[in-house]
Amino acid sequence: MTVLLSSQNRVLLLIIGCAVLWSLESVMPLYRFRDHRLRRTLPNVGLTVLVLLTNLVLSFAAASVAGFVVSHRIGLLFLTRLPLWIEVIIGVAALDLFAYVAHVLLHKMPLAWRFHRVHHSEEEVDVTTAFRQHPGESIWRVLWQLPAIALFGLPLWLVVVYLTVSAVNAQLEHANVRLREPLDRLVRALFVTPNMHKTHHSRRQTETDSNYSNIFSLWDRVFGTYTAHVAFPTLRYGLDDLDERETQRLRGLLAMPFASHGAPLLAKGR
C-alpha cells in the first residue's frame, strides 16, 4: 500500500512538472522544432505509460529488499549513527552513483545499447523525452537500484525520495528551454543541468559518450566523462539510420532493440 501511494503521488508530481515545462518550452524554447508537436510526442507518451507501469510492478522488489535490510539492520548506514540529513545525502548519492554506472553500461554493452538507443533516437529532445524509455531499459535501471539498497541499508522512503528527485530532474534536463549559460554553468558545478545533458543527446559519439550523470554532475567529473562545451548552433539530436517515420512510431520504438536496422550491436554511428 505504501508503494502504491508513493507511486500515485510521484505520478501526480510528474504530470504537473511536465505541464509546467511543456508551457515554458512554448514561451522560451531552446530550439524551434517542426510543427505537429503533439503528434510527435504521442509515442513518448505511450512509452511513458509503459515505463510507469514497469516501475510500479518492479517497485515491490525494491520494497522487499529495503524492508529486509532495514528489519535485519544490514548495510553501511547501520555501522554508526548519523544525523538524518547526512543519511539522506549518502543514500541519494549512493543510488545516483549506481544509476551512473547503469547508464554508462547502457552505452558500453552492445545488447544494453540496443534498448537504450530508443531514448537516444529522439530527433527533437523536449520534456517528453525524459521517459522515452524502452521497458527493457526500465528493468535494467531498477535492477541496479537493488544492490545500492542492500549495500547501504536504505529504507524505502529514502528510495522514494531519490526516485522523485531523479524523475523531476530528468524532466528538467530534457526540457527544450533556453537557460542563461552563466546560471547553467553555476548550477552544474554540483547538479546535472539542461545544457549539460543536451550534449549527451548529440549525434556525435564523442559527445554522446559523456555527461552520463543523473542528479549529481560529480560522477562525470570523477570518472573523466564530463564535457563542459556545448555548441547549440551545430548540435544535432538523434541517431543515424533511425530517423524513419515508422521507426519513430510507438510500435517501431518497442521493436527497435530486436530490429536489424540502425546501429547494429556496438554503439557505432551514434
Distances (CA, A) of 83 to 9, 34, 89, 109: 27, 51, 10, 39
Q: What pTM did the predictor assign? A: 0.90
- C-beta separation of 201 from 54 below 8 A: no
Of 210, 141, 139, 129, which Cα lies nearest the Cα of 173? 129
- For 95, the domain range is 2-258
Q: Is 175 exposed, middle or buried (0-12, 13-18, 19+ CB in 10 A)?
A: buried
> pLDDT at residue 257 above 80?
yes
- C-beta separation of 197 from 179 below 8 A: no
pLDDT (tens digit per residue) in 6-49:
566 777 878 888 888 888 888 888 888 776 777 778 999 999 99
What is the identity of the amino acid at 179? L
Looking at residue 101, what is its pLDDT?
Answer: 98
Mean per-residue pLDDT over the chain, rounded: 89
pLDDT (tens digit per residue) in 135-176:
999 999 999 999 999 999 999 999 999 999 999 999 999 999
Check residue 30 and report its DSSP letter: S
Q: Kindly provide the b/e burial profile for residues 220-235, where b requires at least 16 CB atoms within 10 angstroms of the residue's own CB.
A: beeeebbbeebeeeeb
Examine residue 240 and state whether it is found in any structural domain, yes or no.
yes
> pLDDT at residue 259 above 90?
no
Examine residue 268 and state whether it is found in any structural domain, yes or no.
no
Domains held by the chain: number: 1
Examine residue 49 and state whether it is found in any structural domain, yes or no.
yes
> pLDDT at residue 85 above 60?
yes
- C-beta separation of 214 from 196 below 8 A: no
